[in-house]
Structure 1
Amino acid sequence: MLDQWLAQHDGVITRAQARDCGLSDDSIDRLVRSGAWCVHSRGVYFVANRPFTDDARIRCVLWGAGVSAVLSGEAAAFWHKVIADVPSLIDVTVPRAGRSRAEGCRLRRRDVHPKDVVLRRGLRVTSLELTVLEASVGKAHIMDRALQRHTNLERLRRAHARNVGRTGSPKAERLLKAAEGGARSEGERLLIRELRVQKIQGWVVNFRWGGYEIDIAFPGVMVAVEIDGWAFHSDRDAFQRDRTRQNVLSQSWTVLRYTWADLTERPERVVAEIVATVDRIRCSQPR
């Protein structure tokens, strides 16, 4: 029973779980003294003859925070297999009331709606939808990826409504509105604002050329800036139209493409790249 537990839980076990597997406290202490089990935190152990994987680290951190703790944020997105890389900082959510330890994690005190706490591979984790809402704040591509493969807007909306007032809730609302169809226009507004703030000259919005409309154009140097919406909205026909449009434009224009996530997460980098491209072409033009 003990071997089966350890195999199914990445070599991690708590003292209470070890007791459930039939071990006495003395047996547990002997395993620790012999070096067979390593103490990760109070009452949480790792079997020394196993590799300490990302999954094992997450289990150790969460179980070390107490029985009421819930894995959340990007770590929960990793656990749900929405993202492939485990974050360096593990987010753990605990109830407002009560005591909780915080070792190796970022602890958040908040009461999560019961519908948004699920059990996945033996861990208490925020639901897929709440996980996506929280992990996407600052990393909008996570929501886009989740909408393509794992969930839908209606479910995200319901989870958002159940957890109003949490940290990041206003940003999540903005993400949802963008995902509902306004990403491209909102991205355009964000870029226009950045261009104006930095006093960049020579651009035109919705510039008509050859039967096409360019989102933001620098006609003097033939630089076209195109803003994409959310990938989950795309279908095969729309994808083909975009590629055909870009191929035609690329014959005469230098085309730069950006996503809504680019413009919300790294606007300075976007503007710097646009300015560098415009300056490079301008400098190469004959005088």
Structure 2
Amino acid sequence: MNVQVDMLDHWPAQHDGVITRAQAAICGLSADAVDRLVRRGTWQAIHRGVYFVADRPFTADARIRCAVWGAGTNAVLSGEAAAFWHQVISEAPSIILVTTPRTGRSRAQGCRIRRRDIHSTDIVERRGIRVTSLELTVLEASIGNAHIMDRALQRHTDLEGLWRSHVRNPGRAGASEAKRLLKVAADGARSEGERLLTREFRSRGIRGWVANFRWGGYQLDIAFVAEMVTIEIDGWAYHSDHDAFQRDRSRQNDITPNWTVLRYTWFDLTERMDRVIAEITSTVDRIRCSQPR
């Protein structure tokens, strides 16, 4: 068996159909032979020195691999694309973020280049490409997408690991927001969610509500007392356990005969606030209009 030919047969299958000119040389293919494959249409030149074997679908994995390998040997997959690569999220983003060192040369091909030095502990290799560690990936991908941190804390990592990565990589873009998210995650985000919603009520001039209203032995997160509408805020899912779930549902069952209950997650409040406010105000207005004058 020709070992080099065998390597050439298996390399594309093991790397999403992607191969570089340097990798082809290791497999025994000359530069002229690569050029002939491209001219025949057997390989497609995706970026400079990066090729795709044309007999297979061009998947999201292939697109990401082409972008990282096309950006140079020191390129590191980052952000949401790294979260996809670590299988924290299921859909690849439209923009692939790649980080390269502050010094040195790199090519921006099929991706958005960010020049920043990453702590060596937070650069790992997964399936043949360099990628930010799971912890740094979660910190960076969660900016504007806090559900990524919640999902990662449920299944992939823990707060201690995220804090360590945060400290190892100071001064990066989004670091202050990541620190805030870590603090929010530590307390389950329930209290932070209440603060977000009451702040929104005040800014929009919405009146008639009371925070932490006591009723029948229960403390309601936010209540429109006259209309008997209560807003309940759920914390992050990774804090949830069976007992807490049962307590929340038992409380809701006990107050539902008297109160209209609207439940929201912290992510509703951070990502869909306008929709939340519209639902709350329409519910309160409907009940207010139906009450006898």
Partner of residue 144, structure 2: 138
Partner of residue 56 from structure 2, selected from 25, 50, 56: 50
Deviation at 1:150, TM superposition (A): 0.6
- Secondary structure at the residue paired with 1:201? coil
Report the equivalent of 2:125.
119
3-state SS in 1 of match to 2:92? coil
Matches within 5 A, 1:1-287: 1-181=7-187, 183-287=189-293
Counterpart residue type for residue 115 of structure 2? R
> Per-residue displacement from partner, 1:140-168 (whole Å, max 9, x unpaired)?
11111111111111100000000011000
Separation of aligned partners in 2, 1:224 and 1:54: 44
Q: How far, CA to CA, are the matches of 1:223 and 1:106 in structure 2?
A: 47
- Rounded to whole Å, the distance in 1 between the matches of 2:291 and 2:158 is 49
Worse-matched range after superposition: 25-34 or 254-263 = 254-263
Q: What is the Cα deviation at residue 264 of structure 1?
A: 2.5
TM-score normalised by L of structure 1: 0.96
For residues 19 and 249 of structure 1, the distance between their equivalents in structure 2, rounded to whole angstroms, comes to 71
SS, match of residue 189 in structure 2: helix
Find the aligned partners of 2:97 and 2:280 in 1 and give their Cα distance. Answer: 36
Alpha-carbon distance between aligned partners in 2 of 1:158 and 1:80, rounded to the nearest angstrom: 19
CA distance in 1, matches of 2:203, 2:33: 67
1:280, distance to aligned residue in structure 2 (A): 2.6
- Return closer, same or farther for 1:285/1:3 CA change in 2, 3 Å cut-off: farther
Amino acid at match of 1:242: D
Partner secondary structure for residue 206 of structure 1:
strand
CA distance in structure 1 between the partners assigned to 2:96 and 2:84 by the alignment: 10
CA contact (8 A) 2:188 2:236 kept: no
Distance in 2, matches of 1:254 and 1:102, equals 54
Structure 2 counterpart of 1:5, one-letter code: W
- For structure 2, which runs of at least 5 residues remain unmatched after alignment? 1-6
In the alignment, the residues of structure 1 paired with residue 114 and residue 272 of structure 2 have an alpha-carbon distance, to the nearest angstrom, of: 26
Secondary structure of the corresponding residue to residue 187 of structure 2: helix
CA contact (8 A) 2:234 2:266 kept: yes
- Give the aligned CA root-mean-square deviation in angstroms: 1.3
Runs (4+) of structure 1 exceeding 4 A deviation are: none
Cα shift readout 1:198-254 (whole Å, capped 9, x = no counterpart): 000111111111211110011122211111112111111111111111222222222
Describe the SS at the equivalent of 1:256: strand
Aligned to 2:4: none
CA-CA distance at 1:105 after TM superposition: 1.7
Q: Distance in 2 between matches of 1:44 and 1:120?
A: 19
- Matched residue SS, 1:257: strand
Return the letter of the residue paired with 1:78: F
Q: Give the drift of 1:281.
A: 2.5
Distance 1:250 1:106, change over 3 A: farther
Distance 1:214 1:71 in 2: 45
Amino acid in the other structure paired with 2:172: R
CA distance in structure 1 between the aligned counterparts of 2:83 and 2:193, rounded to whole angstroms: 25
